[in-house]
Structure formats: structure tokens, C-alpha cells
Amino acid sequence: MELKTVFAFLAYGCCFLVYHSVYLYLTEKKPNLTKKGRINDCYASWLRKTVEENHHLLLVHQLRNMIMSITFLASASILLVGFLLTYGLTGEYVANSLFLSEPVNYPVWLIFFTLAFSFLNLLLALRHINNLTVLIRSDTEKLENIEERSALTYLEKLFKKGSQRYMLGRRGFLYGVAIFFWYVDVWVFIGLTVLLTATLAYQHDF
């Protein structure tokens, strides 16, 4: 493996995996430091107000919009993963102009990993949000006895977890697009990955 390929994997790992792990940790432990942590407080107040006013149907309809978006992205990711399994990982070129001189097609494997990671996160997001739409009308005493916390606190946690998984699933697509520029040049991929992470951090995360 060439040194520039090692740099490419390090840049990807630091920007996508390490950065988002630290970001979600800060969101959980010190929510006031991150924009998502502050927005989660707004989400919690919206959820609490909607439940207290018995507007459960309105809440479920709003969550359905999120579920539709998650389902679309999950379907797209699994279709792309299937395409890579059929053509990209078998050694056949997807297009005549897309190839590397290395014996292992690292970008294809990295795209495969990113899309699979995105798909798994979208599935978990779908699970959390679907549970929320069902449990929102459940017996609060039973839910509190099972979870050993207030029902509203547990519902807020479900929504926050679903929202975080949804974010990771969406961003997997963004980093997947950046990986395609490896075929232009590995340094272009590294630069775009760093630029994408810096843009997300500056405009969306902090």
C-alpha cells in the first residue's frame, strides 16, 4: 500500500469516524457546546408540549415525514451496496475510465463500507422513530415501570437517538460522494474530505 493511500484512509477515518464520534459524545455530555445539542432541547420541548396538549396525531404525522426520508435513503443505500457487490467488488470495472493502478480497488471498498455503515444507521433510526410513533400512545405507567424513568424522558431519548442515527446515515452519502473523487486523484479526495468536514463543523455542528 502506498503512503498516499495510507494518508487517504487516515483522513477518512479522522474526518468521518473519529470526528463524528467526538461530536456525538459532546452532544450527549455537553449539549450546549454543539448545535445539535441545542436543537435537541428544542425537539424535547416540542415533544413535551405536543404530548401534554394531546396532539398525538399531529406528532405522528410529522414523524412520518422523517420516516419517509429515512426509508428513501435506506433503500438507495442498499441498492448501491447491491450494485457494488454485483459489479464493483468482483474485480470488474464499473466503467472503463474508473480504475486504479493498485491491485486492490480501495475506493470501491471504502464506498461499500460507507454505504453499509449508512444503511445500518438508517435502519436504527427507523427503528427508534417507529418505536416512538407506537409508544407515544402507550400506558405511561407501564412504560415507566419497564424503563425505570419517566415516559416522556424515554420518548425524548428515542427521538434523539433516531435523529443522531439519521444524521450519520445522511452524512454517509456525502462522504461516499467525496470518495468518488479518489478516481480523479487521491489528494483531491483527501482535500475534499477535510473540506467537507470543516464545512459541516463550521456551518452545521458548532
pLDDT tens sequence across 78-137: 888 888 877 766 555 444 444 444 456 888 889 999 999 999 999 999 999 998 888 887
Contact 118, 70 (CB under 8 A): no
Closest CA to 60 of 158, 136, 123, 160: 136
Parse the chain into domains and list their residue ranges: 3-93+101-205
Name the stretches of the chain with pLDDT < 50.
Answer: 93-102
Whole-prediction pTM: 0.83
Q: Can you give the pLDDT at residue 1?
A: 67
Q: What angle do CA 86, 105, 171 make, to 5 degrees?
A: 80
What the block records as the C-alpha cell of 26 is: 459532546
